[in-house]
Amino acid sequence: MIPPKKYAKEARIAPKGFNTANEFFESVFKDKNMIWMGQNTNHLHKDNFIMDAMANCVESKEYCKYPPPEGFEELKDLVLKDLDLENMDILITAGGTESLYLCMNDILESHNNVITSDPGYLIIDNFASRFASEVISVPIYSSDNDYKLTPELVEENMDENTKVIVLIDPLNPLGSSYTEEEIKKFAKIAIENDIYLLHDITYRDFAREHFLAAKYAPNHSITIFSFSKIFGMAGLRIGSIIANPEIIASVRTILINDLGTNVIAQAGAIAALHSKNKWIEYITTTTRNNQKIIKEAVDKIDGAFIPVYPSDGNMLAIDLKGTGVDPVEIAEYLLDKNIFTRQGTYTSKLFGDNYLRVSFSIPEEQVKIFAKEFVKAVETLQKH
């Protein structure tokens, strides 16, 4: 038998009652009544230009052809224009996930280390661990540092082998985000040490304000872009990598998806960017209002609190430590009520026992159901 690689131990664990994690996912996915608060996906788009563009692409049977390997020029230009980074280069990929992997693969050498945060999006640590000697996952679950990786924490934790600082901004799972001053400080650190900021902006458009590291450190920033969240296209698997032409030229040499990214997804993404100003306000207003409904429910429970409120993402964490309720148990309880949420261990190795993560880019009626069931769930589990 081929021995497992060092990172194999981090493979997904099957939840109770399922043989594999995949079986669990499929069962939740196929349940049409499930309230979807477990994946930070966006269910607020109405029938719109995005759907129409994809339907047209299917009807024309354009999908019989391979697309250009690095993405359609129109889509590349639209993403760069959306970010006001028109002097940068770009590759269209099968999602932020592929983008993250390609960057880690391209940049890291075996003696390097990478700075990430805990809580954070753990697949990034997993990818980094495949190419670096060490992943330094800095504990940030504290109000002392506003529940985020600060420039000071980075400086305390980095050394001469640090090559990449990962900034997830806004941060999954907490929804914390960076001020312009903080981004400038990170940019200074990257330039002075000649290292990279991997700026994962998957949740950017939910934020009240957002600042791109690429503006302040154009040659030391790599921006990871996703169509999964604000654009509501998670199942279509499309995203991109934006960086200076030299970095992109290097990543180009290790591309996996050499025959290009799904043409239907690209047609949808082009329509999504063209039409963004027509729907974005509805989505941000609804998600901000939904957060309030969740906050009101959490405020009813002694010992529970939301570490970062308001969240700048479409998700937030609810700290349950003071209630004595186990996040795994409450996630299972809610799943029984057809509400899919995530226990903290999905996004934290150190603080997973503290919180439940819920996303709220779903219709308001469903958030109201959650709010009611959540309060009942805590009360019921506290009695056990």
Ligand X SMILES: Cc1ncc(COP(=O)(O)O)c(C=O)c1O
Contacts of residue 287, defined as CB under 8 A and 6 or more positions apart, other chains included, come to: 44, 206, 314, 360, 361
Q: Is 262 in the site for ligand X (CB under 6 A)?
A: no
Q: Is 234 in the site for ligand X (CB under 6 A)?
A: yes
3-state SS class at 167: strand
Closest approach of Cβ 260 to ligand X, in Å? Answer: 16
3-state SS class at 224: strand
Q: Which two tokens stand for residue 75?
A: 């889509």
Query: What's the one-letter identity of residue 253?
Result: T
Stretch that binds ligand X, among 94-102, 262-270, 331-339, 365-373 (CB under 6 A): 94-102
Closest approach of Cβ 172 to ligand X, in Å? Answer: 4
Using CB atoms within 10 Å of the CB of residue 324, give its burial: 0 to 12 exposed, 13 to 18 middle, 19+ buried. Answer: exposed
- Pattern 131-160, ligand X, x by CB under 6 A: ------------------------------
Residue from the set 151, 239, 307, 327 that interacts with ligand X by CB under 6 A: 239
- Measure the CA–CA gap between 312 and 19, rounded to whole angstroms: 36
Closest approach of Cβ 233 to ligand X, in Å? Answer: 9
Q: Is 114 in the site for ligand X (CB under 6 A)?
A: no
Stretch that binds ligand X, among 10-18, 89-97, 240-248, 366-374 (CB under 6 A): 89-97
Contacts of residue 230, defined as CB under 8 A and 6 or more positions apart, other chains included, come to: 42, 203, 204, 205, 206, 280, 283, 314
Residue from the set 102, 138, 140, 168 that interacts with ligand X by CB under 6 A: 168
- Within 196-225, the residues that bind ligand X by CB under 6 A are 200, 202
Closest approach of Cβ 124 to ligand X, in Å? Answer: 7
Closest approach of Cβ 314 to ligand X, in Å? Answer: 10
Contacts of residue 277, defined as CB under 8 A and 6 or more positions apart, other chains included, come to: none
Q: Is 172 in the site for ligand X (CB under 6 A)?
A: yes
Q: At 91, give phi and psi (nearest 5°).
A: -125, 135
Given the complex with ligand X, which of 96 and 307 has the nearer CB atom?
A: 96
Q: Is 71 in the site for ligand X (CB under 6 A)?
A: no
- Measure the CA–CA gap between 190 and 247, rounded to whole angstroms: 15
Closest approach of Cβ 102 to ligand X, in Å? Answer: 12
Rounded to the nearest 5 percent, the helix, strand and coil shares of the chain are: 45, 15, 40
- Sole residue written with tokens 């919180």: 355
Closest approach of Cβ 329 to ligand X, in Å? Answer: 24
Given the complex with ligand X, which of 207 and 304 has the nearer CB atom?
A: 207
Binding residues (CB under 6 A) for ligand X: these are: 40, 95-97, 121, 168, 172, 200, 202, 226, 228, 234, 239
